[in-house]
Structure 1
Amino acid sequence: MKAGLVEFSWTFVFQIVNTIILFLALRKVLFKPVSEFMQARQDGIAASMKEAEEKNKEAERRMKEYQTKLDFAEEEGREIIKEATKKAEMKASEIIKEAQKEAAKMMERAEAEIKRQNEKAMNQLKDEVASLAIMAAGKIIDKSLDEEKHHGLIKEFIDEVGDARWQN
């Protein structure tokens, strides 16, 4: 008799019993460690994802913090520039005022010098006119004057004519 692929015999029963024993032995030896390994791996992946999510949140928080600091620094920079501009304008204003004061002083000194030079020229002109008048008078009367008489005549001429007339 020809045997089929699956026959119900003691061999078949032993094969089933052996398969069940092998399954239980493998389950005890392999399935449990593999399941634990898979669970540990799954827990590790979950922990890594949670850690990555926390790090992303921390990075976003720091990015916001740095952006806030950057905005503050930009605002502070604008304030510093604004203040420096104000100080520069004030300094320029002070320099202009000082220059105007110095120019006014120079003008006053120049006017005083011009007035002094004018008075000096007028006095020289008075002396020369007086000398010419005396020389002309001396020639007219053909009289020779010594220096003392000369000065006396000049003084007398100036007193008669008056200083006010020469100042105009």
Structure 2
Amino acid sequence: MQNEMWFLAQALPEGRVFGLDGQTLMDIGIQLFNGILLAVILGAILYNPVKEFMQKRTESIQEKLDDSDATMLTAKNLIDEYEEKIENINKERLTILEEARAQAQEESDLIRQETKLEAEETRARMQKSMEAEKKRIQDESRLYIIETAALMAEKYVASSINEEDHIKLFEEALTDLEESKWQS
């Protein structure tokens, strides 16, 4: 490598770092021309396919964005629809609860009325039963009072009436019975 450097240093004119002669300028011009030509040829060859690729990619991305927007819109519509359905279900639930409460209140009122009627009927039956029992007790009491009065009268009469008066009263009672008609 040192040999090569020494050779290059010998080839350069004195006082110059590198040789800028006609051959070097010609090489630089050819390389520049080749670079420009390569850029033009590659640009002509690759520009349209790269442009089409980029256009297709842009369209694909835009299509995906549009699809995602449509999907988001559909999802939002579905969310709105579901929220509306939930609201309707809540309203229906409240309506059903109110109807059930009203029906329960009606049934409760009906049961109260029926119970009240039954209580009144029971009270009326008890009243009639009590009145019948009272009448029966009064009738029995009357019979007992009559029997007691008859026994007391019999004792009183027996002690105050003598034998002659007794026979006379007995005969009068027999004649009254004979004169009255027997009912069959």
Q: Provide TM-score, normalisation by structure 2.
A: 0.67
Query: In the alignment, which of 143, 146, 165 is matched to residue 127 of structure 1?
Result: 143
Task: Look up the SS of the partner of 1:3 in the other structure.
Answer: coil
CA offset digits 1:16-72 (Å, max 9, x no partner): 342234224433554444333322222221111111111121122122212222222
Alignment correspondent of 2:65: 49
Distance 1:5 1:70 in 2: 89
Identify if the C-alpha distance between structure 1 residues 61 and 5 changes in structure 2 by more than 3 Å, giving closer, same or farther: farther
Q: Which amino acid aligns with 2:116?
A: Q
Larger relative contact order (Cα-Cα within 8 Å, sequence gap ≥ 6)? 1
Distance 2:86 2:150 in 1: 94
Q: Which amino acid aligns with 1:115?
A: E
Distance 1:82 1:58 in 2: 36
Distance 1:26 1:36 in 2: 15
Identity of aligned residues (%): 22
1:100 aligns with 2:113: no
Q: Which amino acid aligns with 1:105?
A: E
Query: In the alignment, which of 9, 20, 41 is matched to residue 4 of structure 1?
Result: 20
Alignment correspondent of 1:79: 95
CA offset digits 1:114-148 (Å, max 9, x no partner): 011101101110110111111112212339xxxxx
Structure 1 or 2, whichever has the larger Rg, is: 2
Alignment correspondent of 1:118: 134
Question: Which piece of structure 1 moves more, 55-64 or 92-101?
Answer: 55-64
Q: Which amino acid aligns with 2:121?
A: K
Alignment correspondent of 1:70: 86
Distance 1:5 1:125 in 2: 167
Task: Look up the SS of the partner of 2:152 in the other structure.
Answer: helix
Question: Which piece of structure 1 moves more, 104-113 or 83-92?
Answer: 83-92
Alignment correspondent of 2:9: none
Q: Which amino acid aligns with 1:71?
A: E
Question: Which piece of structure 1 moves more, 134-143 or 48-57?
Answer: 134-143
Task: Look up the SS of the partner of 1:142 in the other structure.
Answer: helix
Query: What value does the CA root-mean-square deviation take over the aligned residues?
Result: 2.4
